[in-house]
Structures are given as structure tokens and as C-alpha cells.
Chains A and B, each alone.
Chain A
Amino acid sequence: MTRTAIHVSGVGKQYLLSGSRQQHDTLRDEIMAGVKALVGKSETETANREFWALRDINFDVAQGEVVGVIGRNGAGKSTLLKLLSRITHPTEGRIEIQGRVGSLLEVGTGFDRELTGRENTYLNGAILGMRKKEIDRKFDEIVAFAEIEKFIDTPVKRYSSGMYTRLAFAVAAHLEPEILIIDEVLAVGDARFQARCLGKMGDVAKQGRTVLFVSHNMAAVTSFCPRTIWLDRGHVKEIGSTQGIVTRYLQHGGEDSGHVRFDTAAAPGSDAVRLLGVRTRNGAGQTTNTFGTNERIRVELDYETLRPTKGLRLGVTLVGSGGETVLSSKDLDVFDPDLARPAGRHISTCEIPANFLNIGQFFLSVGSDFPMVQGHFNVDRVLTFTVEASADMVGGHVPDSRAGLIRVQLPWTMESANGVGTQSSSD
């Protein structure tokens, strides 16, 4: 007997672009807007531009089904998650949910830096909807999963960021509702821990729970979810068997122009920093998503600080098409950790050197935080670009295709037994 766990009919969510959110945050603004409207300098047309983050969404999820949700950034995935988790309400339509919902959109929500690991486990568990008894029962398991037995009674502000995220994930992963809504950003930490996170999610899926899994990781979606919903610009583009959809989605993925801009209403960010856009430029300064192997790639983060900040950190992570992380880079590697930024718009550029990446498709993820204090945004796979063979790439006259994600020129030396033909790469 299959019953419907989630029934979504005609759901839409509208945001006012520069209306309530941006310009009228204070009474004065609202009054001024009213005055301007009276005087005739009406701003209402531009001020109330509507933006449908989601529209006409219809689908059903049967009990025990594991469904993937894919789509590019800004396609409405996060909005859908927020609607299903009751964080925000639809502007139109109706959602019926049968059973207790647990949603994990972010790990560590509600952690208090002053409290110990033990205290935070209980607090965070309660925030996620767990009962104290339930946490008591799972406590040992959680601590063991997070591998922080020795530090459980230490305030989390003394934790390394790895310990912090491990504990946060461990609590979240032990939530056992009937319907689980998870965002892939949950898979955190080092590669080993990430694999365990995904494994844990796979276990959850196998336990007969209804799961909605939002991800950019096509390998994970394909292995966990028989069925997938593909969202595109706020609409359902396709629903059906994962295999076919993922294939078509990946083919469709090449529409990128090397530039992503965020509408102010949908801009990822916090009360301090907001991401406005990300672009990739070549050495000539052109915005593009295709680079030769011998070209440097300039990754530009366009962002706004809403107040003067100090110690802001920006980071870029490069991911290969198979989901392997190539590298991450943080601007604090080179900047003064106390670098002050005035309020306003900034562009930070990170340069990936020429002759570094191998031929292939790459994803860029970007993030920003005040280290250990507050996260501002973390946009996974915000852009994709392709590295192609460039004319001078062939080393001499030997056809040059190589394995691996990077193609760095390494120093080579050679010594011959008779001592005559010594050669090194510095020659």
C-alpha cells in the first residue's frame, strides 16, 4: 500500500524584489516612499517588481520514496525546500504533508559558541525537533560519529572548524523523522568525513523513509534517488526516472556564459555580506566559460558589505566534473586577517594560473564567512567552465592527452650512467 507523503499542487512563491526587503526596512523609508508617491515621484513601479521564485509546482511523493531535486542555482531549489519545511509560506497553492518532517538545510544552526559540545548537542537536537529522550538515546552514537569523545565537555568555541562541523552534522544525521528534507551542503568536512556523510544519507534513504534530496552531485543523486525533479527557473522542467533526467540535465548544463548574477531578493548572504555575482574572465579580460589550458582564469566575486567589516574571509573551491575537489583557496592566505572593508560593493579576484588545470569541465563554489563566527554565503557550484586544449598545448610533437584534473609542469631531471648527458628542467 503506497500512500502519498507529500502532495504539492499549484504552489508558487513570490518575492518582492526591491520592495519590502531592500528599501523599506525602516519606518522612515516607508514614510519617505509614501511621501514620494504623494508628490508624484512614484517609485512604486520599480519598487514593487515581483519575482516568482517558484510557480505552478505540482508533484507527489509517495511514502518511502527517495526523490532527488536538481537544478541550477536560482532555479528555486532552496525555496522549494523552505516551503516544504514550513520555514516560509507559499504565495499560492497548497502542500499536504503526511508525517513528521525533519529538514536539514544547514548544519549547526543554533549552535551557541559558549556552550559545550554536550550542551549544543541537546540544544541543536531540540531545535531540529528531537525530544530530549530521543537525544539521550542517541547521544553516544552522535558523539562517536562526530569523533569528539574527548572534547564533548569543551565549549565549542575552542573546537577546530572540522570538529565543529562534524558534531553539527552528527546531530543532524541522527534526526529520524518520517519525511527527511536534506540539502547536499550538509556533506561537509574532509573527503573521508564527506564520504561518511553521504553514506549516512544513503542509510537513511534505505530505511524506508521518505526523502527529498537536493544536490548538485549527480553521482549521489543517481545512486540514492530512483526519481528526480528537475527545477528550472522556478518551474518543474521534468519529473521522472533519475537516469534520463540527469543525462539531459548535464547536456543542458552548457548554457552558462561564465557569469552568474543574483537578484537582490535571492542574493545569498547575511546581514553583513551579500553575494551579487560571480564571473570568470580570461587573460584578455573577457567574460567566458571556456578557457584554453594555457590561459589563466580569473574568478571574480562581486559582493556587497552591508556594514564596515573586519576579518571577512572569502573562499573559492574548484570541483571536477566527477565531484572531486581540486582545490580550495581562501583570500586570507594573502590578505591581512584583520583587513577592514568599508560598507559597499567590492570585487575580489582569485586567479587560477595558466597551464594548471587539465582539459575538462569544472565547477566553482564560493563562500564567505567571519572565520568561526558567522557564515555569510556558501554557494555550491555557482558556475561551471570548461578547459580546452589550446594550440600550443602539445608538448613538442607528442600528442598530449593526460589523466588527472591538473596538468602542472613539474621539474624533471635525468642522469645518465656515463655521466655525460645530464639534463634538468631548469635548463
Chain B
Amino acid sequence: MKIVTDERLPKDISAAPLSESQKTIIDADRGLFSMAWGDLWDFRELVFFMVWRDVSARYKQTVLGIAWAVIQPVLTMIVFIFIFGRIARIPTGGVPYSLMAFAAIVPWTYFSQAVSRSGLGMVKEANLISKVYFPRIILPLATTITPLIDFVLAFLFLTGMLVWYQVAPNLAVVFLPLFIVMAIVAAFGFSLWLAALNVRYRDVQYLIPFFVQIGMFASPVAYMTSLVPEQWRLFYELNPMVAVIEGFRWCLLGTPAPSFEMVGMGLLTIAIVLPSGFFYFKATERTFADII
């Protein structure tokens, strides 16, 4: 790390003349739309520092370190291979079961990590919330971003598997970033809800593992969507991770493309969960310091 000490720099850059834009008004009732976007911009580096802290503190004093980011999903895959691939013999449409499963485990692990960390994140930072001001939304934002690091590592492993199995992705791979974004946005929407709810109702922290477990079976992680009965399909597709996972498989393994209604239903859920989560978070954040 380079330390810059330059005597020519003014001793205090922040004591620049005040401008009208720096005026802050704190009053009893602010509308829900009064997000202090300027503040969020001012604190943008804090998002980075929070992510960096979580990543660097996370695997300290572990022998295998960051390798855990890959080991965890790989172990899940191995369990799946035995239970669903060998014993239940789930049909995969010609793709090796391990690839089919891992292409789903990678985005699902990201989503579940993001959602569970965000749900617990606010309470973990209770001291911070009651002692320092910063835009509170930074916390769920950071906890949604942090697991992306693990995601990248697991994704590299997935790429290695593609090479091993000699599966070459087709042109659909250009759509992959869209499905990644979809997973992030969906995770952020649920994170906002769970983070804000858990400040008030600590019950949420006990519900989250359950929510994540049910979510895994309600998403095509261990199997393919084609196994879901036709009459349930539309309801099933309300889970945005259905489209994300099938999207991953389509882009990387060349399985059938997710249907428009599948993507549409997923986007519908996101379109409801994200804004409502945002407003719920905004509506409750002013009392966080009082009740946390």
C-alpha cells in the first residue's frame, strides 16, 4: 500500500466553502421517496470497504482459506450426484448430471448466501447502526455483493468442468450476464425485506435457513424444470431463480432455453419484491437505531 504524504496538499480539504447542496434537513416526516442519493454516493467507498472486510475476515484462521468458496458447492454437487444422479436417476436430457447440477449450484449458492447474510447482517452491525450515521442501505447492498467473490471462484471451477467434459457453450452464452444480473437483483430485493424485518422481528433469523432450504427444492437445482408438472409450471416460475438457473444451463450447457413466461414470471416477482422491499426498508430505517 502506498502512503501519500504531500506537504503541498491543503491541511484540510473538507473545509472548503460551503455550498447549498450540502444542506441537510432532518425532520420528523420525510416522504418515502426522499432517498438521500447524494449520501449514498458520498459513502460509495464504504460499500467497497464492507465487502473487502467481509471477504478478508471471512477465511482468516482457516486452513483451506478461500478454497472453501469452491469446496462448499463441490461437496453439495457430490451429494447430489449420489442422491439424485445415481439413486433417483433424474433425467438430464443428455447432459452429465454433475454439470447439470453444478451449473445450478453456482448461482443458487450465490443467491442463498446473499439472502442469508443480508438477513442477519443488520443485527450483526447493531453497534454500528446505533453509533454512526451512514446510509443504512449500504449494509444489504454490501452483503449482496460480498458472495459475488465466492461466485466468481465457483464459476471458474465450473468453467474448468466444461473444459473437462468438453462441453462448448453456444452463442447463447452472451445472455449469461443478464441472468447473473437477474440473480443479483432478485437477491437484493429479498435482502432488503429480510434485513429490515429482522431488525424488528428477530424471528426472521430463524426463518431464513428454512426459507433457503425450501427455496433450494423449489428451484431446479438438483433437477430440471421439465420435471415439474405442466399445471404447476406458471406458479413454480414465480421463483426468479428458476429462470436464472435454467438460463445458466441454457447459456453454458445448451439445454432448452428458458421460456418467455418463465423469465416473465421471474421478472414479475422481482418487480414486486424489489420496489416493495426498498420502500419497506426506507420506511423502517429511521427507527433502526431505536429498536435494534
- Write the residues of chain A forming the contact surface with B, with a CB cutoff of 8 angstroms: 3, 15, 20-21, 25-28, 30, 63, 82-101, 103, 105-106, 109-110, 112, 114-115, 118-119, 122-123, 126-129, 131-134, 136-137, 139-140, 155, 176-178, 207-209, 270-271
Contacts and interface: CB of A to CB of B under 8 A. Distances in A.
A109 B18 contact: no
Given A176-B14, A177-B14, 13 more contacts: A26-B202, A88-B290, A89-B287, A94-B25, A95-B27, A96-B23, A97-B26, A112-B57, A115-B53, A126-B43, A129-B42, A131-B45, A178-B18
Given A118-B1, A177-B14, A25 B26 contact: no
B291 A208 contact: no
B128 A109 contact: yes
A98 B126 CA distance: 28
B15 A271 contact: no
A123 B56 CA distance: 12
Contacts of A128: 132
Nearest to A15: B290
B286 interface: yes
A83 B24 CA distance: 12
Given A27-B201, A271-B126, A129 B134 contact: yes
Contacts of A92: 28
Interface of B: 1-6, 9, 12-15, 18, 22-28, 42-43, 45-46, 48-49, 52-53, 56-57, 60-61, 125-134, 200-203, 286-287, 289-291
A93 B130 CA distance: 21
Contacts of A83: 26
Interface centre among B25, B53, B57, B202 (most CB of A within 10 A): B53
Given A86-B24, A90-B27, A21 B15 contact: no
A106 B28 CA distance: 25
Contacts of B60: 114, 155
A99 B5 contact: no
A119 B56 contact: yes
A97 B5 contact: no
Nearest to B123: A271
Contacts of B14: 100, 134, 176-178
Contacts of A27: 201, 203
A176 B14 CA distance: 7
A90 B25 CA distance: 11
